[in-house]
Structure 1
Amino acid sequence: MMLSFSVVIPLYNKGRYVYDTIQSVLGQTYRHFEIIVVDDGSTDDGPSIVGAIDDERVKLIRQPNGGVSRARNRGIDAATGDIVTFLDADDWYGPYYLETVAALAAEHPEIVFFGCAYHRALEYVPGDLSRPPQPLPVSVQSNYYELLRQHHPGVHTNSVAIRRMQLAAMQPCFPVGESHGEDQDLWFRLSEKFTLLYCSVMLVGYRIDVPGSLMMLRPKGMLPYFERLQQRALSGQLTGEQRRSALRLVGDSRSALAREYLEYGDRAEAFRQLRLGWRACSQHWLISLLMVAGFSPKMALRFRKWRGGRAQAG
């Protein structure tokens, strides 16, 4: 039996991009799919562009504005495919994405959670992602947190696929009311329940913004999904190496946030973040502690720029 896909696309004022996004799905080499576009109260011409696409596989759902998490959850509820994938309305799939996931899912019926690498680009170029090599370079990731700690980019919203029955059992999958890190929150919880099968080939595209203002803004604190991860680890919901890796990941994130507070001039909050993240016990955390203790805000800013320059040069 051929596996079918439900591609969930949340739409909010992306009329400039959504036609190309949908066409990237309609152009897939694998044909067994439905596209569920959930318009989240757009005020531009995006919904009318979707409605004008003459293909019965494209379904448009309209709802009052409630945020991207609510839109994705609505799409999951409407999905009928065996596997659910997600695609932001300004991004795209390479032509072989669904074909590749279908092959992996058929070969590994025990796997629920699939992911692949993604291509970062300023603009969408049709057909810019070539056919993947055979055999596919795949790896089983039993500790997603350790993977992220090794500076791996992880998965992106456009590059994950989950079997629908297991995903529906986790509804509401995306935390309603959150629009930063709401996707990582789900990938974290999925990785705690299921093993990730990861393909290192770039099969989907992610549109990156043109760099904006360099003006320093006050840090907004630790994102809620990291707070929830730390709570799950400390409460005993995570155990063993997964628990240790999760606490180190949170600690390293708090260390980075502490340096941001130092740049802003809030040394007290920087120290508080380091206290909350002391379980990281990593070189990253120790360097941040030394910086917060001895650097001025200007020194911290110069250090970040120097470090960024080294990373670009490498």
Structure 2
Amino acid sequence: MQIELSVVMSVYNAEPFLKEAIESILNQTFKKFEFIVVNDGSTDNSLDVINSFNDDRIVLIDQENIGLSRSLNKGVFISKGKFIARMDADDISLPERFALQLDFLRKNKDYVLLGSNIYFIDIKGKILDQTNLPCLNEDMKKSLPNIKLMHSSAMFLREFFFKAGEYPVEIPKYFEDKILWNKMAEFGKIATLPDVLVKYRLVPSSIFNLSNKQVQQLKDLSNKIIKNNYLLTEYDKFSIKEITRISKNQQIGNYFLRISFMHFKHNRRVKALFYVVKSFAINPFETDTLKMFMKILLPTRLLNFYRKLKQKPL
């Protein structure tokens, strides 16, 4: 059987969510694909979870830890499909994802990269928010280099993955996908389907749980690297490590803060207050946490006035 689609997932200590992630791939309405799972030196029971599935579509690579970018490059290198779908070990692909994305790419042969909108979910799988991303090629190209295309929603043409130079192995995580997407955009059109096709799980180790300052610093650094024709200096590599330095308590506190923000965005004030208090208890001196706390406590009328004031041009 000729394989049209290869799914590539790297796994590192993802035991709590891995079974659900794998099931979401195996239960797609589009059935004919290979599923390359790279167990990147997990020290928990991730390998046992993978081996518990008896499905001929799964191709397992069990290896010592080499990092996300190298693992993904290895998975794509051994793949046989014309199209590559990415998947993360703690996320969930909705059943129609592959069918809808393949249908678009088959009909629009000048596109090299495709994403979708996503739901944000918490550790327990409860939906917190959803994205409303730019969908058209023109809008996405205008946003470069700050492309908004969620990694585990991506489907792309294998041919252009290699033409773009693969995932940059110098970048351990955080914006390796952004670098690749910018390179791929040089070879063809890119788009995001308006459909929500992936549930993206927020966990403490996610990039979303760095502080606002750290996220902005990463954004500035990645833009500089792209502007410099993707050249990483030794100082850039050092900067990535310094920018992303964060304690376990800060990660957990920021995780609760992000959940609080999403509840507050949808006027779920009681839940927003609950999570910001949890964040405050862990990181009592974080400015972002204090600001969120004060916003929640503002009376609705005063808060609406504040929002309108922020939207007015100077």
With the shorter chain as reference, the TM-score category is 0.5 to 0.7
Q: 1:304 offset after TM fit, Å?
A: 6.2
Partner residue, 1:209? 203
Partner residue, 1:228? 225
Classify the secondary structure of the residue corresponding to 2:194: strand
**TM-score, structure 2 length as denominator?**
0.64
Q: 1:219-298 alignment to 2 at 5 Å?
A: 219=214, 222-223=217-218, 224-232=221-229
Q: Distance in 1 between matches of 2:5 and 2:204?
A: 32
Q: 1:301 offset after TM fit, Å?
A: 6.6
Q: Relative to structure 2, which stretch is displaced further, 195-204 or 138-147?
A: 138-147
Q: 1:37 offset after TM fit, Å?
A: 0.7
Q: 1:75 offset after TM fit, Å?
A: 0.8
Q: 1:220 offset after TM fit, Å?
A: 8.9
How has the CA–CA distance of structure 1 residues 48 and 93 changed in structure 2, closer, same or farther, with 3 Å as cutoff?
same
AA of the residue aligned to 2:184: L
Q: Distance in 1 between matches of 2:174 and 2:158?
A: 24
Out of 164, 172, 188, which is 1:170 matched to?
Answer: 164
Partner residue, 2:58? 58
1:164-197 deviations in whole A, cap 9, x for unaligned?
Answer: 1221333432334421111111112222332112
How has the CA–CA distance of structure 1 residues 191 and 202 changed in structure 2, closer, same or farther, with 3 Å as cutoff?
same
Out of 159, 173, 186, which is 2:153 matched to?
Answer: 159
Classify the secondary structure of the residue corresponding to 1:200: strand
Out of 140, 147, 150, which is 2:143 matched to?
Answer: 147
**TM-score, structure 1 length as denominator?**
0.64
Q: Distance in 1 between matches of 2:95 and 2:124?
A: 13
Partner residue, 1:30? 30
Partner residue, 1:103? 103
RMSD value, Cα: 4.1
AA of the residue aligned to 1:6: S
Q: 1:124 offset after TM fit, Å?
A: 6.8
Classify the secondary structure of the residue corresponding to 2:115: strand
How has the CA–CA distance of structure 1 residues 196 and 307 changed in structure 2, closer, same or farther, with 3 Å as cutoff?
farther
Answer yes or no: is the 8 Å Cα contact 1:3–1:83 preserved in 2. Answer: no
Partner residue, 1:195? 189
Partner residue, 1:182? 176
Q: Distance in 2 between matches of 1:100 and 1:220?
A: 32
Partner residue, 1:20? 20
Answer yes or no: is the 8 Å Cα contact 2:40–2:65 preserved in 1. Answer: yes
How has the CA–CA distance of structure 1 residues 190 and 142 changed in structure 2, closer, same or farther, with 3 Å as cutoff?
farther
Structure 1 residue runs of 4 or more that deviate by more than 6 Å after TM superposition: 214-218, 300-304, 306-314
Q: Distance in 1 between matches of 2:147 and 2:291?
A: 20
Answer yes or no: is the 8 Å Cα contact 1:111–1:196 preserved in 2. Answer: yes
Partner residue, 2:69? 69
Gaps of 5+ in 2: 128-132, 231-242, 244-284, 297-302, 309-314
How has the CA–CA distance of structure 1 residues 114 and 49 changed in structure 2, closer, same or farther, with 3 Å as cutoff?
same
What count of residue pairs does the alignment treat as equivalent?
239
Q: Distance in 2 between matches of 1:147 and 1:218?
A: 21
1:53-72 deviations in whole A, cap 9, x for unaligned?
Answer: 10010111022211111111
Identity percentage of aligned residues: 22
Q: 1:156 offset after TM fit, Å?
A: 0.5
Q: Distance in 1 between matches of 2:91 and 2:188?
A: 26
Q: 1:201 offset after TM fit, Å?
A: 1.1
